[in-house]
Amino acid sequence: MRAGKFVFAQLMEFLPWKRFERLVIKYDGDRYVKHFRCSSQFLCMAFAQLTYRESLRDIEACLRAHCTKLYHLGIRGRISRSTLADANESRDWRIYAEFAQSLIDTARPLYANDPLDIELANTVYALDSTLIELCLSMFPWAHYQSTQAALRLHTLLDLRGAIPSFLYISDGKLGDVAILDQLLPEPGAFYVMDRGYVDYARLHRFHQGRAFFVVRAKSNLQAKRRYSHPVDRSTGLRSDQTVLLTGFYAHKDFPEPLRRVRIRDSSSGKSLVLLTNHFDLPALTITALYRYRWQIELFFKWIKQHLRIKAFFGTSENAVKTQIWIAVCVYVLVAIVKKRFHLEASLNELLQILSLTLFERDPIDQVLRLQPSDSSVLDHANQLTLFDF
C-alpha cells in the first residue's frame, strides 16, 4: 500500500485552520459539542461540494463507504445525516462567512497581477446580484413574492482573477442600490455597474471617496451638456460629453459634472449611455470597462452550475447560509491552489479532477497536472520483460 496523505487531506492543508479555530471560539461554535466539531462539519460540507452530493443521505452514504479513511481526512465522530443536519441548523453561519472572507483576502493578492485586455493599472470591480429561487412552503423565512421565496447574492467581483472581494446574502426584497451602503469606496478603483445602481447620492459618496464608477444611465436621465469632446464614429461612439445633472434632486445629490458617453452596439443596434466621474481615459476604454461587467454574469452562471447553492441540505436560514458560505470557501480554495501550483487548467477542470481523486494518495500537484507519480512507475519495476530486443 502506498504511503502518503489523501488528496482531500492535502487540499485541506491549504486552509488557515488557526484562523478557523479563532472564529469557532468567537462564535461559540463548539460549545456543548463532544464529538462532531465545526471542523468536521466544514470538511463534510466541503466534501459534498467537491463531489457534487445532492442530499444529506447522499453525503452519509458516501462517507460511510470510506469510514476507515475518515480519520485521515480530519473528520472526527460518527457521520450521520441527523448529526450533520443539526450542525447546519445550530452552528453560526458567520463562522464560515468570515472564514470565506479570510480566504478571499489570501486569494486576491495572488491574482492582483493578472492582465486585463485593456491597459489599466487600477483595480476594476463589477457589482451585481443574482437571485437564488427557493420554495416558499419550505423556506417561508425567505419570502420574496406572494408565491415565491428567494435569496439575493450581492457580489463585488474583482475582474482580475474573478475573485469576489465582497459577498452579501439578503432576502430577495433588498434592492440592488441599497448594497452600495455596505461598500467602502477604494480610492483609485473602478466600480462597473448596471443602471439598477443609479442613486446619485450614493454615487457621490464614491466620488468623494476618490473612487471611480462606470454605470449605465437610466432612460429618464436629465442632464445639460457643458462640453462635447470629438469622437471617432467609425468605432461605434456617438458622443463623449461633459454634462451637469438638471433634475432637482439629482443635481442636489450630485452637483458636480459627470461624463456621458454614448455608444451604439453594432450587433444589436442599441445605444448605450454610460455615466462616469473619470474624465481622463479614452471614451472607448470607458465602454470597454462596461463590457467587462458581463464577467460577473458569467461568474454567477458558473457558480450556479458547479457549486451546490441551488439544492440545499437544510431549510433554515442558518443552514442555507452555511452551505452557501462553505461553497464560496471551496471555490476560493481551489483558486488559491491553482495559483500556488501555477496550474494551467481552469477552475472547472480542477473541480472535475478533484471530484474523482479525493481518495487517491498521489501528490496533489501531480494529480492536478495529470502527471503520473514516481511511485506508479515503481509498482511495475519487477515486471518481467516479454521480449528482449
**DSSP secondary structure string, 226-267?**
EEEE---GGGTEEEEEEEEE-SHHHHHH--S-EEEEEEE-TT
Question: Which residues are CB-neighbours of 136 under 8 A, at least 6 positions away?
Answer: 143, 144, 147, 148, 149
Q: Please report where in the chains the cell 458636480 appears, as a residue.
A: 256
Residue scoring higher pLDDT (253 or 147): 253
Residue 373's pLDDT band, with cuts at 50, 70 and 90, is low
Task: Give the whole-number percent of the chain exceeding pLDDT 90.
Answer: 67
- Structure confidence at residue 1 (pLDDT): 38
| Dihedral (Cα; 95, 97, 99, 105), 10-degree rounding | -150
| Spatial distance between the Cα atoms of 45 and 43, rounded to a whole number of angstroms | 5
- Structure confidence at residue 374 (pLDDT): 54
| Spatial distance between the Cα atoms of 155 and 114, rounded to a whole number of angstroms | 20
pLDDT digits (tens, 9 = 90+) for 248-285: 999 999 999 999 999 987 777 788 999 999 999 999 99
* Distant-in-sequence contacts of 61-64, Cβ < 8 A, 24+ apart: none
The answer on pLDDT for 332 being more than 60 is yes
- Structure confidence at residue 372 (pLDDT): 57
Pairing of strands 190-193, 124-134: parallel
- Structure confidence at residue 117 (pLDDT): 76
Residue scoring higher pLDDT (315 or 77): 315
| Spatial distance between the Cα atoms of 247 and 255, rounded to a whole number of angstroms | 10
Q: Is 370 left (phi over 0), alpha (psi -120 to 50) or beta?
A: left
| Spatial distance between the Cα atoms of 254 and 340, rounded to a whole number of angstroms | 44
Task: Give the whole-number percent of the chain exceeding pLDDT 70.
Answer: 94
Q: Which helix (H) or strand (E) holds 280?
A: none
- Structure confidence at residue 10 (pLDDT): 94
The answer on pLDDT for 2 being more than 60 is no
The answer on pLDDT for 380 being more than 70 is no
- Structure confidence at residue 356 (pLDDT): 92
pLDDT digits (tens, 9 = 90+) for 36-76: 899 999 999 999 999 998 899 999 999 888 888 888 888 88
Question: Which residues are CB-neighbours of 282 under 8 A, at least 6 positions away?
Answer: none
The answer on pLDDT for 225 being more than 50 is yes
For the chain, domains (ranges, CATH) are 7-94+315-374 (no CATH), 195-292 (3.30.1370)
pLDDT digits (tens, 9 = 90+) for 81-130: 999 999 999 999 999 999 999 999 999 999 988 888 787 888 999 999 99
Per the CB < 8 A criterion, the answer to whether 60 and 36 are in contact is no
For helices 317-340 and 38-50, angle between their N-to-C axes, nearest 10 degrees: 70
